[in-house]
């Protein structure tokens, strides 16, 4: 199973780039369990998917259009198999809309989408394998499928093979026995010679005393064959070759050396012919090159002169473009100042043509005149009051002065 958050970790190790190949193989097994050959391939008349069809690699051929169409077909089928209605996309539909619909269905199933939708437009890669694998898991859950452990059949060993293994004699055991007891081996050889002599003597005596009649066997041929078949595996002696033996390596080296010599003789002739052909071709190319250089020498000189003129024109153009840039900057500054002056003139003209300040001044003057009139009235009232006060005070003073000189009865009569 593929973990949803497996792609968010940047420290996954050097094998993370090949994880999509493993996911693709698991996806192919799940599609076979869902019977996609009959429901998808046979329906659309398509070929079966390879083991690494949706895995992207620089060493694998790719067809983005075909792979994207296959991805959309299988994704829509898996979504429908998972229990959600999804309309099958057509070949000329908008790929952005198709990808967004598939990702929305994946989010609805609870899948994590932490990559841009444009990653699916290529039709192959890690994200394509992840989306299809996640949808295949949901389809298997909908069909109530569960993984079980495989049951391996028990294999029984045959009796003959066991007997052959027991009867086999390895060369290493023989060499070990020979290296462990060299002295005993020599003694045994001596003893064997003596026993051989005794056996020859006994055979001579037996030959001297051999019977006159020929001995005949009373054994049945069928029983004899059965006994031979029964005892034959025990009589079979096989000597296994030890790969550590240096003699075997030397023989292999000689065999390889002879094979290299024989193949070198054949290849050398072909290589010599190829060398001659390449040499002749190089000579032809060199002579042809010299001829072309001689024929095109005046054109090359014209090209060089034109190239020098072009470089001079480019220098002049760079110088002129530098002056144009400076003048453009000055023009921009002057234009900016001109805009400021125009704005100030517009503000002053609008203020001059506007009659609101004059109306305000007239209103202020009228109000000021009214206030002056009121002030004049108040001043007149105050002056009249002061005059009355002065007259009253003066009359009081004169009365006081007369009162001091006039007798009291006179004052009263008065």
Residue 197 has pLDDT above 60, yes or no: no
Number of helices (H) and strands (E), helices first, in the chain?
Answer: 14, 0
pLDDT at res. 156? 56
Q: How far apart are CA 7 and CA 136, in angstroms?
A: 18
Q: How far apart are CA 73 and CA 89, in angstroms?
A: 7
Residue 407 has pLDDT above 60, yes or no: no
Q: What distance lies between CA 234 and its chain's CA centroid? A: 63
CB 74 within 8 A of CB 132: yes
Mean pLDDT for 146-153 is: 73
- What single string gives the DSSP state of each residue in 352-380? HH--HHHHHHHHHHHHHHHHHHHHHHHHH
pLDDT-derived band at 341 (thresholds 50, 70, 90) equals very high
pLDDT tens string 50-95: 888 888 776 677 788 888 888 888 888 888 888 888 888 877 778 8
Average pLDDT value over all residues in the chain: 77
Mean pLDDT for 196-224 is: 61
| Helix H or strand E segment including 144 | none
Q: Residue 166 to residues 156, 160, 177, 236: CA-CA distances in angstroms?
A: 17, 10, 18, 10
Residue 84 CB neighbours (<10 A): 14
| Helix H or strand E segment including 159 | helix 159-167
Q: Which range, of 35-44, 194-203, 255-264, 369-378, averages the lowest pLDDT?
A: 194-203
Residue 183 has pLDDT above 50, yes or no: no
pLDDT tens string 270-311: 899 999 999 999 999 999 998 898 888 888 889 999 999 999
54: helix, coil or strand?
coil
pTM for this model (two decimals): 0.37
Q: How far apart are CA 74 and CA 372, in angstroms?
A: 101
Q: Which range, of 27-41, 90-104, 212-226, 265-279, averages the lowest pLDDT?
A: 212-226
Residues in the chain, total: 414
Q: How far apart are CA 2 and CA 7, in angstroms?
A: 10
Mean pLDDT for 150-173 is: 52
- What single string gives the DSSP state of each residue in 104-127? HHHHHTT----S-GGGGTTS-SHH
Residue 190 has pLDDT above 60, yes or no: no
Token couple for 241: 């070759």
As to burial, measured by CB atoms within 10 angstroms (0-12 exposed, 13-18 middle, 19+ buried), residue 2 is: middle
Q: How far apart are CA 57 and CA 13, in angstroms?
A: 18
Token couple for 246: 């240096």
Q: How far apart are CA 114 and CA 106, in angstroms?
A: 12
| Helix H or strand E segment including 174 | helix 171-180
């Amino acid at each position: 199973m593929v973990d949803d958050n497996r792609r968010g970790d940047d420290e996954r190790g050097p094998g993370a780039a090949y994880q999509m190949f493993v996911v693709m193989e698991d996806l192919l097994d799940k599609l076979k369990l869902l019977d996609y050959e009959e429901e998808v391939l046979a329906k659309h008349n398509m070929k079966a998917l390879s083991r690494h069809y949706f895995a992207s690699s620089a060493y694998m051929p790719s067809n983005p259009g075909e792979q994207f169409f296959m991805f959309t077909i299988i994704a829509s089928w898996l979504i429908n198999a998972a229990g959600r209605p999804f309309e099958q996309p057509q070949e000329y539909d908008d790929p952005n809309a198709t990808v967004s619909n598939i990702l929305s269905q994946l989010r609805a199933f609870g899948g994590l989408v932490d990559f841009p939708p444009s990653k699916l437009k290529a039709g192959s890669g890690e994200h394509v394998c992840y989306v299809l694998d996640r949808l295949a898991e949901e389809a298997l859950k909908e069909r109530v499928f569960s993984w079980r452990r495989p049951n391996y059949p028990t294999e029984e060993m045959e009796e003959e093979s066991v007997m052959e293994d027991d009867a086999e004699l390895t060369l290493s055991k023989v060499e070990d026995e020979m290296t462990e007891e060299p002295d005993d081996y020599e003694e045994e050889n001596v003893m064997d010679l003596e026993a051989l002599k005794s056996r020859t003597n006994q055979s001579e005596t037996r030959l001297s005393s051999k019977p006159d009649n020929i001995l005949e066997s009373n054994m049945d041929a069928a029983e004899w064959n059965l006994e031979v078949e029964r005892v034959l595996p025990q009589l079979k002696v096989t000597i296994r070759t030890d790969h550590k033996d240096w003699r075997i390596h030397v023989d292999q080296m000689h065999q390889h050396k002879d094979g290299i010599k024989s193949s070198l003789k054949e290849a050398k002739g072909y290589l010599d012919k190829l060398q001659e052909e390449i040499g002749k071709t190089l000579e032809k190319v060199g002579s042809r090159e010299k001829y072309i250089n001689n024929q095109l020498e005046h054109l090359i000189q014209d090209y060089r002169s034109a190239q020098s003129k072009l470089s001079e024109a480019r220098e002049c153009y760079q110088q002129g473009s530098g002056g144009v840039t400076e003048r453009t900057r000055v023009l921009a500054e002057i234009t900016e100042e001109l805009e400021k002056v125009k704005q100030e003139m517009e503000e002053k003209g609008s203020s001059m043509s506007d009659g609101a300040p004059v109306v305000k001044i007239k209103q202020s003057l009228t109000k000021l005149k009214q206030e002056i009139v009121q002030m004049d009235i108040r001043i007149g009232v105050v002056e009249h009051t002061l005059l009355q006060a002065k007259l009253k005070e003066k009359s009081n003073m004169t009365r006081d002065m007369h009162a001091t000189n006039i007798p009291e009865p006179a004052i009263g009569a008065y």
